[in-house]
Amino acid sequence: MSYQVLARKWRPRSFGELVGQAHVVAALTNALTRGQLHHAWLLTGTRGVGKTTLARILAKSLNCETGVTATPCGVCGACTAIDAGRFVDLVELDAASNTGVDNMRDILDSARYAPTVGRYKVYLIDEVHMLSKGAFNSMLKTLEEPPEHVKFVLATTDPQKIPVTVLSRCLQLNLKPLPATAIEARLAHIVAAESVAHDGPALARIARAAQGSLRDALSLLDQAIAHGGGEVREADVRAMLGVVDRDHVYRIVDALLALDGSALIAECDAIAAGGGSCASALDELAAFYHRLAVVQLVPEAVAGDEGPRLADYATKLAPEEVQLAYQICVQGRADLALAPDEATGFSMTLLRLLAFESAAEVAGDPPAALASPKAPIASPKAPIASPKAPIASPKAPIASTDAPRGRRELPDDPSRWADFVASLELTGMARQLAAQSELKSIRGNALALAVPAVHRHLADRAYADKLKAALDAATGRKWLLAFEIGEAGRASLAAQERRRRDEAQATGEAAFRGEPFVRDLVQRFDGTVRVETIEHRSGAESAPPAAKPSRESP
């Protein structure tokens, strides 16, 4: 016996077998039972959801020798002939290949004659939106005054392309895309009936890949059976679909967390070398971030063998970082079509993730970078540590090592200014002022500091006072600060930090800076912390003024 493809073998032959279209089946069953038959039905829905299958069942319902019925017998001459595709009174036409008006005229001419063997002549026109205007017009005449023995079943994936005049003469029934769970259940039923060895995750994968189309799912199942030598195993299905392994996803996320650009690129290459699809990799990555977001929001939702792993990742990323990463993945997925090639689009998206990840990293820990919490300048231990405190406590010297920065000289070497301000206990905008400034000169108690023009807003009195207070406290002197606004120099702490980061992530940074998408995201997410960080990272060269939250402050 020759092998019959599953989609054909398991094509539903009755309304009861039809998967997932209960609302349409109910409407048709009612109409058939009550004998209220429309003369033209329009079935709409995406590919593979059962439009033509439904049309054929309807043809049987109309022509079954047991009478017009919602439950055609399936064994009479009419039913078997329709199932076998050789019923003379069922005229199937694919409008995609017969768009012309002549075809339509021929067909409609024949409509005038009574059915040969059946009760009704049924015209099934698939992809009816493809008909030409002339063909629609000639069909319209028949639709307006259809002979008693004629029924039209029109099917389309694109009802909006059908003229209103035609639409208004049809009873429209919308078939829904099938949920993956319904497809999976159907697949499970079929493999059980066919005695095909299988595992559950494999079927779930196929169901998801079919994207709502049962026909696609069945043809994928056919392929999987062939691919797996008669069995359906998850590993085979993954390979067949080019699905990217979850381990790849973990390694990508690990590389991102470690800000390890080269590991990221290596993973990219590994996926390509393994024949994985970039689209699928981005899907997997987005799905991962989705699961992570769920776990962060609803910790008790952690389920399955991935649970502990997710819980661990959930502590390493802030919820808003997860949101942003997800957004970058789906956007990158959409942009794949525009990329020079898939691999380029994919690695670009990963670099974008990396750029944002490192931006978030920098934003997350400025206090640690600036002033070690172990050496708070205003700490009560500081006086003890000072050489002027001759208390003979044996603990004093030990305490002094805890606070080595008690009183320090302000370096007169401008190149050491950055290290000095890095040790000041400053936060927020004052910290930014310190980081962006360069020491120009010291004359007596007067400090001349230069601030790049793009950061002139930092030289605000309020922030300057805080910087002065920190300098006074650190050095034990009273300083006068004078700011000059100028070009960005190389000696500021920010410039130093920028250079360090640049060296570490030259590629990611460049990708990040050049992207119009970045601005779009920044706007959409309204994330001030990130915006600040981005500015500091990109320095004077490209800071967009509009993104500066403090610009309006006095």
Binding span for Zn ion by CB under 5 A among 15-23, 70-78, 211-219, 446-454? 70-78
Residues in binding contact with Zn ion, number by CB under 5 A:
5
Nearer to Zn ion, 76 or 547 (CB): 76
Stretch in the footprint of Zn ion (CB under 5 A) among 59-67, 123-131, 162-170, 416-424: 59-67
- Beta carbon of residue 80, minimum distance to Zn ion (angstroms, whole number): 8
Does 73 bind Zn ion (CB under 5 A)? Our answer is yes
Would you say 121 and 105 are in contact if contact means Cβ atoms under 8 Å apart?
no
Q: Does 212 bind Zn ion (CB under 5 A)?
A: no
CA distance 387 to 396: 10
CB of 82 to Zn ion, least distance (A): 9
Q: Quick check: 57 binds Zn ion (CB under 5 A)?
A: no
* 401: amino acid identity, one letter: T
Sign of CA dihedral 367, 372, 375, 380: positive
Segment contacting Zn ion by CB under 5 A, of 74-82, 147-155, 354-362, 443-451? 74-82
Residues 291 and 296: their CA atoms lie apart, in Å, by: 9
Decide if residue 68 touches Zn ion (CB under 5 A).
no
Q: Are 287 and 279 in contact (CB under 8 A)?
A: no
- Which range binds Zn ion by CB under 5 A, 57-65, 420-428, 441-449, 523-531? 57-65
What are the φ and ψ backbone dihedral angles of 122, each rounded to 5 degrees? Answer: -110, 125
Site residues for Zn ion, window 125-154 (CB under 5 A)?
Answer: none
Residue 449: alpha-carbon gap to chain centroid: 46
User: Helices 200-209 and 180-193 sit at what angle, rounded to 10 degrees?
Assistant: 130
Residues with Cβ < 8 Å from 269, sequence gap 6 or more? none
Binder of Zn ion out of 27, 68, 76, 318 (CB under 5 A):
76
Please provide residue 17's backbone torsions phi and psi, each rounded to the nearest 5 degrees. -85, -10
72 interacts with Zn ion by CB under 5 A? yes
Q: How far is the CB of 73 from Zn ion (least distance, A)?
A: 4
Provide the 10 A C-beta neighbour count for residue 542: 13
Contact flag: residue 50 with Zn ion (CB under 5 A): no
Looking at beta carbons only, is 33 or 441 nearer to Zn ion? 33
Find, among 92, 96, 120, the residue nearest to 35 by Cα.
120
Alpha helices (H) along 14-87? 22-34, 51-63, 77-84
Q: Does 64 bind Zn ion (CB under 5 A)?
A: yes
CB 124 to Zn ion: min, Å: 18
59 binds Zn ion (CB under 5 A): no
Q: For Zn ion, which is the closer residue by CB, 74 or 544?
A: 74
CA–chain centroid gap for 153, Å, is: 38
Rounded Cα distance between 218 and 237, Å, is 13
87 or 288, CB closer to Zn ion?
87
Report the residue from 79, 166, 439, 454 that binds Zn ion according to the rule CB under 5 A.
79
Q: Under the rule (CB under 5 A), what is the footprint of Zn ion?
A: 64, 72-73, 76, 79
